[in-house]
Amino acid sequence: MSPLGRVDSNTSGDFERALMTREGEALLVIDLSGIDYISSAGLRVFLMLAKKMKGSGRRLVLCALAPSVEQVFTLAGFTALFTVKPSIDEALGRVSS
């Protein structure tokens, strides 16, 4: 999936609902190139998703983080918790290998 805009205190509820429709997938690749910035409300949604998917043996790959999103992921220590790829191609390439 390829969300657009900001994931902040205002939009994180919608984002969470959109993710819930996909969280049953064995593999979920999220292209974040359209996300301008993410606040802690957005980090919270990603963390809950990662816990759920890992708990049931499914895989989550994030790719193409904008600089401000990558900065927040790094500050929060999330780069160690998620599989993060520079581009959608690399995310999908890794998946098929």
> In this complex, which beta carbon is closest to other proteins, that of residue 29 or of residue 73?
73
**How many Å apart are CA 84 and CA 80, to the nearest integer?**
9
In the complex with other proteins, which residue's Cβ is closer, 79 or 92?
79
> Alpha-carbon distance 7 to 4, whole Å?
9
CB of 83 to other proteins, least distance (A): 12
Interaction site with other proteins (CB under 8 A): 8-10, 36-41, 43-44, 47-48, 50-51, 54, 67-68, 71-72, 75-77, 80-81
Measured CA to CA, the distance from residue 29 to residue 40 in angstroms comes to: 21
